[in-house]
Each structure stands twice: as structure tokens, then as C-alpha cells.
Amino acid sequence: TIKRVSTRDLRARKGGVPIVCLTAYTAPMAQFLDPHVDLLLVGDSLGMVVYGMDTTLAVTVDMMINHGKAVVRGSQHACVVVDMPFASYQESREQAFRNAARIMAETGCAAVKLEGGTELADTIHFLTERGIPVMGHIGLKPQSVHAAGGFRAHGRDAAEAARVMADAKAVAEAGCFNIVLEGTVEGLSREITAAVEVPIIGIGASPACDGQVLVTEDVLGLFSAFKPKFVKRYADLGSQISTVAAQYAEEVRARTFPADEHCFGIPAKPRVLEV
Ligand code: KIV
Ligand code: NA
């Protein structure tokens, strides 16, 4: 068996070759991505991307555990990190520990990720001191979409910029091995990356970050409810799926599928020698 990338390996990647991360929610997707990435994130974005929810708020620990198990089974190289969903860690550090420990024990993942800055530093410290590696997530925090007044870029004004910088320093100090920085203006993202010792993984942040993460379905063109500015669509698999479905439907209605070779008990036609 191949040795997986560890959180310790990822902690040591500050300023080096950028850390490559993508999301995965299923075993087959994990299998395709695993050889190419350092980190597979089982994001709570699955609420929107897989379950059709409007926000990530209704995602549960059980949902994260089921998808986490699938991604661990489908991978052997990448470090697998599972998101803690809304309301599974904010109440107290004990609640956070209990749910993080369940996620780690039941999925076999290497770490959890939770959204929060200075207000969650004590909780992050509590977990990291007790054997649970934590990935931070600051800037745009989708679980706080209502409090923030929508999905919008962070750090445009000085007060907010100072807050995101303070959040980065606080969660780094609390022991995060990597920190996701989402939806934050480029200049500030660059400053945060330079100011903090822990590798910063950008999404809508800066090319200067120590790594990048995107939602795989966004990259593949499999999620079309909306497209954030920071997404680059490398493929349009959604329209390929639609083409395939249309062709299958046509062949079923015309009885051209299934053909003889898809049926049992029909002898293969004798081969004719080509002249
Ligand atoms: O849920 C998710 O997919 C995430 C990444 C986009 C960072 O948190
Ligand atoms: Na998330």
C-alpha cells in the first residue's frame, strides 16, 4: 500500500510547490482525482452540489460520515479531510471534539475542517491538542452566509481586512496544519499568505497562496446553479451527460438499443474474412 500524504507533510509545504486540493464526495470521483492531488476535501458543499440545497446549513454529521467513508475507500494517496457541518462544532469545544472524533473514527479520514476565525481559536486548540488535526477556513464562510449578507468577497474595507488577517493569525496560532482562505480580495490574500507561517490554501484568493482548492463539480461543469467568479471550468461534462441521455432515449424508443451484443443467448455472427 502507498503511504498517504499526511497533515504533517502538508504543514511543511509553506512557500514550496503549491498544494493541490479538490473536493470529492464519492468513491469513483476520489479514484479519478487521487493520483493527481495532495488533498481530497469532502466538503459540505455537497449539500448544494449533490443534494440540491440552497446553502450548506442543513448538511448533517451523518451525511459527512457517509461521503467521507466513500472517499477514503476510493483513495490511497491523498490526505482526506472531512468538513464539519454547520451546528456540529460551534456550540462548545466539547461538542466539536465529540463530532470530530466520530467523523475521524467512522471514516478513517486524516483531519477535519471547520469554518471560523478568532471566535473558534479556543475550539481548534482544544482539538489539535487532543489528536485531531484541523484545517481552518476563513474569509468567506458559507455556513455564515446569512450573517454575512450573502456570498460576497471579503476584505474590501479596512476593518474587514483587519478582521480576516486577525482570523488567519488566530487559527494558525491555534494549531491548524493548513488554512483555507475563501473569497477574499487578492492583495489581502497575498499579505495573509506572507504573514502566516501555516500554508494558506486559496479559493478565490490569490495565486500567491501556498495551494489552491476548487469544487470538482464546478471544474467539470457538473454544477450549474451558479458560477462564482473564482471558478475555472476546465470541462463541460454536464452538456455531455445531456447528449448521452438524449441519444440513449432515442435508441431505446427506436429499439436499436439493446443490440445483439448486449443480449444473452444470441450467438455471435460468424466472422467473414475480409478480402
Ligand atoms: O465545502 C467545500 O467544498 C469547501 C471548499 C470549497 C473549500 O469548503
Ligand atoms: Na465547506
Instruction: Return mean pLDDT, the chain.
Output: 96
Q: Is the pLDDT of residue 275 over 90?
A: no
Q: Is the pLDDT of residue 12 over 90?
A: yes
- pLDDT, position 223: 94
Task: Please indicate whether residue 160 is annotated as part of the active site.
Answer: no
How far is residue 244 CA from its own chain's centroid?
Answer: 27
Single pTM value for the model: 0.96
In this prediction, what percent of the chain has a pLDDT beyond 90?
93
Domains held by the chain: number: 1
The grid coordinates listed for 119 are 471566535
Asked if the structure places residue 273 within a domain, the reply is: no
> What is the predicted ipTM?
0.99
Active-site residue, from 129, 182, 197, 250: 182
Q: Is the CB of 83 under 6 A from ligand 1?
A: yes
Mean pLDDT (whole number) for 7-28: 98
Q: Is the pLDDT of residue 267 over 90?
A: no
- pLDDT, position 77: 98
Instruction: Note whether 224 and 244 are within 8 A (CB).
Output: no
Range of the domain at 47: 7-235
Dist. CA 48–CA 132, nearest whole Å:
27
Asked if the structure places residue 112 within a domain, the reply is: yes
Residue-wise pLDDT for 178-212, tens only, equals 999 999 999 999 999 999 999 999 999 999 999 99
Asked if the structure places residue 44 within a domain, the reply is: yes
Q: Is the CB of 203 under 6 A from ligand 1?
A: yes
Q: Is the CB of 180 under 6 A from ligand 1?
A: yes
Report which residue type is found at 196: V
Asked if the structure places residue 257 within a domain, the reply is: no
Q: Is the pLDDT of residue 274 over 80?
A: no
Asked if the structure places residue 258 within a domain, the reply is: no
Question: Using 50, 70 and 90 to split pLDDT, how confident is the model at 226?
Answer: confident
Testing ligand 1's pocket by substitution, the residue of 19, 20, 22, 23 carrying the most ligand atoms inside 8 A of its CB is 23
Q: Is the pLDDT of residue 227 over 90?
A: no
What are 42's strand-pairing partners? 82
Q: Is the pLDDT of residue 252 over 70?
A: yes
Asked if the structure places residue 73 within a domain, the reply is: yes
Residue 222: give its domain's CATH number: 3.20.20.60
Q: Which long-range contacts does 212-215 make (Cβ < 8 Å, 24+ apart)? A: 212/18, 212/19, 212/20, 212/21, 213/21, 213/22, 213/23, 213/39, 213/41, 213/180, 214/21, 214/22, 214/23, 215/22, 215/23, 215/43, 215/45, 215/49
Residue owning the nearest CA to atom 3 of ligand 1: 43
Q: Is the pLDDT of residue 123 over 80?
A: yes
Q: Would you say the C-alpha torsion 50, 51, 54, 56 has a positive or negative sign?
A: negative
In this prediction, what percent of the chain has a pLDDT beyond 70?
99
Q: Is the CB of 215 under 6 A from ligand 1?
A: yes
Asked if the structure places residue 157 within a domain, the reply is: yes
- pLDDT, position 1: 58
Asked if the structure places residue 130 within a domain, the reply is: yes
Ligand nearest the Cα of residue 217 is: 1
